[in-house]
Amino acid sequence: MIPNVAPAPADSAEPTAAAVLPKAPRQSAAKKFSGSKLFASPASIAGVIWLAALVVASLTAPLWLPFKTEDQDFTAVLSGPTAAHWLGTDELGRDLLSRIFASAAGTLGTSMITVIVAVGLGTLLAMLAAAAGERVETVISRVTEIMMSLPGTVIILAVIGAVGTNIPLIMGILGVLISAGIYRVMLGQAKSLQSQLYIDAAKVDGVSTAGISLRHVLPGLTNTIVVQAALIFAVGMLIQAGLAFIGFGPPIPQPSWGGMIQGASQHVYDAPWLMVPTGAVLALTVLAANAIGNALGKAPNATASHLPSAAARRQRGKAVAAIAATAPASQDVAKNTLSVRNLSVGVDSVGAGKGVRLVTDVSFDVEPGTVLGLVGESGCGKTMTALSLLGLLPSGVSVTGGQILWNGKNLAAATEKDMEGIRGRGIALISQEPMRALDPMFTVGYQLTGTVRRLRGIGRADAKAEALGLLEKVGIVDAARILKTYPHQISGGMAQRVAIALALAGRPRLLVADEPTTALDVTVQAEILSLLRSLVKDTGMSVVMVTHDLGVVADLCDQVAVMYAGEVVENGRTDSILDNPRHPYTLALLAADPHANHGADMPERLATISGQVPQPKDWPSTCRFAARCQFAGSACLVPIPLLPSGTGDGVVRCVKADELAVEGLDWLATDVPSHHILNLVEAPAAATRTAEKDPA
């Protein structure tokens, strides 16, 4: 009867695209209570109105109730709704409406006792555990663990045996039992608040521990407190009514909701109506409290789903069909050549961040056996571009235009079924964090052998041999042992080798690698890169390599497409771009990258690029790099086309590209934007400060 109040299953919305948008610079983790959330859903508005009306009605009950709770009308026993008795009468002819509203105040009030005790005590314990360190936390956690593993209902009944039906006291003790669950909900949040920087600062300033808890931690917990209070309020009402139902309510003849329902249960045969009004009022009140709690507690989704729901897939199917209808007939490209034409990717037009463009008008080609690097800072749309090649954009994001041509098909307009035929067999994927890319619940062997069987259509024994062969091919010596392990039992580098083996299982002709070395140790990085290089040589497959590391590009790539803010700003052969960059952003990346600078012209100081990649919704229609460009001028304030750069088939998107080439300008080692450069030269103080910032 006493419901579990431990971490309530979140009533979260389906994952939305808001999750995939680049995050705004760090927000405070403190979730402030916001009243606007309360009025965001019709259900919670109705809840607030119902509760308010109920409170007002019950407090003013003596003024307007048509009957006293004890008035008996023997002319109308067990009657349904009539003009005299709007909600009918019970077995003694007492007016239900009067009894329901007269007992409302008591029910709501005593339920508040549970709320105050449970939430108060739970929050206090959580703040104490967060503030007082590990040992105290262990003790409190153990005690609450025990409390939560008790048969609450039976204990409450035993308490009733000892203290009688003293409702306020019982509701208070109930609150103590429930506080253990509240503590569990609050602890994590209290700890993260406690550990935040501003609290360290407060400590230095000499604020006492209690002061920190009250002034900094408590406000951050407000929203959770209100959410839990609403939910516990509902729980309190249900339990109180349940107790009254089994005969432990307020003393007779005082009315109570549970008692009245118990009375009704005696008359199911002769007066079924009797159970309706009281039950409905109780249920509505509980619903109202729950609706308020859920509306306030609704968490914005942190991450997007990697497998959209059926409804979302249907929608995407329609969008894809629309693209297919408008797309020009796919031109023929050579076999196993990937040709991306004017690709655009955007957030779907529902939910948060709707319609925002994440990738605009991107084009590039990848010939068989070659490696293309997609380079840029994070937030430039590299990963979205890469994922769209496999049709694996997260839910809420889709291709909005352009073509992805691959062996006679336009993948941008391909159905999910078509894509299933291409994934793994034609185009494969390896991703950034190998540990998270493998299913933690299954052994490497299960995952690899199953994939081999599926993609090659061979039997179990052959697949096992093939899996062993694949692991050896990616440089794993004790392949047989690795097959038996779970992903958490192997190192990151080993896991990435396994992930590569998985990707190779279907003998793909194109490998999409999304920052495959970023999460690994430097030495392991080099090993994985040389593995990829030899795989390209041996298998003749091509690779699209997403990276922010120009060292990787120099090492591995034949072609480079530099991306900034969702568009390609420079594209061409790796050697010509690294030796002779034409776009200021490429220049800046090179100047900021220690590995990309070839020995001789290694500068004494490394440059930084001031500012950040703008948020997709803020991309201007002018040169998107203008705000950070040291060479920006008035000519840059128009949309800039992608034009041939003059070297080979390279292209560049900058009005001053030719000028830069002629003058051979360098990106200056400074974090001060261009219009400050003059000042910098004139002001030695500023120059010194910049010099101090040099990386050690």
Partner 1 sequence: MALFITKRLLMALATVLVVAVLAFLLVHAMPGSPGAVSLGAGASEEAIDEVNQRLGWNDPLLLQFVSWLGAAVQGDLGISLIDGRSVSADLASRLPVTASLAAGATLLSAVLGIALGVTAAVRGGTVDRIIGGVAGMAVALPAFWIGIIFVYLLAVQSSVFPATGYVPFEVSPQDWALSLALPVITLAVGGGAFIARQTRASMLEALQQEHIRTLRATATPTWKILYIHALRYASLPIVAGIALQFIQLFGGSVIAEQLFAMPGLGQAVQNSVSTHDAPSVQGVVVIATVVVVAVNLVLELATKFLDPKLRAS
HEC letters along 466-529: HHHHHHHHCCCCCHHHHHHCCHHHCCHHHHHHHHHHHHHCCCCCEEEEECCCCCCCHHHHHHHH
Contacting partner 1 within 428-487 (CB under 8 A): 428-429, 431, 433, 436-442, 451, 454-455, 486
Nearest to 598 by CA among 579, 620, 621: 579
Q: What DSSP character marks residue 33?
A: -
Contacting ligand SF4 within 656-685 (CB under 6 A): 656
- Check the CA dihedral 573-579-584-590 and report its sign: positive
Least distance between partner 1 and beta carbon 696 (Å): 34
Beta carbon nearer to ligand SF4, 509 or 582: 582
Among 73-81, 322-330, 460-468, 496-504, the segment contacting partner 1 (CB under 8 A): 496-504
Q: By CB under 6 A, tell whether 590 contacts ligand SF4.
A: no
Q: By CB under 6 A, tell whether 405 contacts ligand SF4.
A: no
HEC letters along 523-553: HHHHHHHHHHHHHHHHHCCEEEEEECCHHHH
Nearest to 104 by CA among 64, 152, 74: 64
Residue 545 contacts which entry, ligand SF4, partner 1, none (Cβ below 5-8 A, type-dependent): none
Biggest CA-to-CA distance, the chain: 108
- Candidates 62, 161, 459, 599; binder of partner 1 (CB under 8 A) is 161
Residue pair 334/433 in contact (Cβ under 8 Å)? The answer is no
Least distance between ligand SF4 and beta carbon 652 (Å): 9
Residue 625 contacts which entry, partner 1, ligand SF4, none (Cβ below 5-8 A, type-dependent): ligand SF4
Beta carbon nearer to ligand SF4, 387 or 591: 591
Q: By CB under 6 A, tell whether 655 contacts ligand SF4.
A: yes
> 544 has which bridge partners?
372, 512
Residue 599 contacts which entry, partner 1, ligand SF4, none (Cβ below 5-8 A, type-dependent): none
Beta carbon nearer to ligand SF4, 394 or 581: 581
Residue 623 contacts which entry, partner 1, ligand SF4, none (Cβ below 5-8 A, type-dependent): ligand SF4
Q: How many CA atoms lie within 13 A of 551 on its CB side?
A: 12
Contacting partner 1 within 327-386 (CB under 8 A): none
Beta carbon nearer to partner 1, 417 or 675: 417
Contacting partner 1 within 110-149 (CB under 8 A): 146, 149
Distance CA 273, CA 91 (A): 12
Residue 505 contacts which entry, partner 1, ligand SF4, none (Cβ below 5-8 A, type-dependent): partner 1
Where do we find the tokens 């795989």?
A: 535
SS3 state of residue 360: strand
Q: By CB under 8 A, tell whether 4 contacts partner 1.
A: yes
**Applying CB under 8 A, what is the total number of residues that bind partner 1?**
93
Nearest to 442 by CA among 363, 400, 502, 389: 502
- Candidates 499, 543, 550, 592; binder of partner 1 (CB under 8 A) is 499
Q: By CB under 8 A, tell whether 150 contacts partner 1.
A: yes
Distance CA 307, CA 316 (A): 12
Contacting ligand SF4 within 550-589 (CB under 6 A): 584
Least distance between partner 1 and beta carbon 277 (Å): 11
Find all residues with CB under 8 Å of 197, minimum gap 6, and list them: none
- Check the CA dihedral 44-46-47-49 and report its sign: positive
Residue 491 contacts which entry, ligand SF4, partner 1, none (Cβ below 5-8 A, type-dependent): none
- Candidates 88, 122, 152, 175; binder of partner 1 (CB under 8 A) is 152
Distance CA 344, CA 385 (A): 8
Among 151-159, 165-173, 609-617, 652-660, the segment contacting ligand SF4 (CB under 6 A): 652-660
Is residue 48 within a helix (H) or strand (E), and if so which, with residue range?
helix 42-59
Contacting partner 1 within 249-308 (CB under 8 A): 258, 261-262, 264-265, 268-269, 272, 275, 279, 282-283, 286-287, 290-291, 294, 301, 303-308
Contacting partner 1 within 390-429 (CB under 8 A): 390, 392, 420-421, 423-425, 428-429
Nearest to 176 by CA among 129, 224, 113: 113
Residue pair 596/584 in contact (Cβ under 8 Å)? The answer is no
Least distance between ligand SF4 and beta carbon 541 (Å): 34
Residue 632 contacts which entry, partner 1, ligand SF4, none (Cβ below 5-8 A, type-dependent): ligand SF4
Beta carbon nearer to ligand SF4, 392 or 642: 642
Contacting ligand SF4 within 604-633 (CB under 6 A): 623, 625-626, 629, 631-632
Other C-beta atoms closer than 10 Å to the C-beta of 429 total 23
Least distance between partner 1 and beta carbon 50 (Å): 12
For residue 259, which amino acid is it? G
* Tokens found for residue 143: 């005690």
| Edge-to-edge strand list for the sheet holding 338-347 | 357-366, 338-347, 397-406, 409-410
Beta carbon nearer to partner 1, 68 or 306: 306
* Tokens found for residue 222: 């407000």
Beta carbon nearer to partner 1, 30 or 419: 419
Where do we find the tokens 């909900």?
A: 185
Among 246-254, 556-564, 611-619, 645-653, the segment contacting partner 1 (CB under 8 A): 246-254
- Check the CA dihedral 279-283-286-292 and report its sign: negative
Residues at the interface with ligand SF4 (CB under 6 A): 584, 623, 625-626, 629, 631-632, 636, 640, 654-656
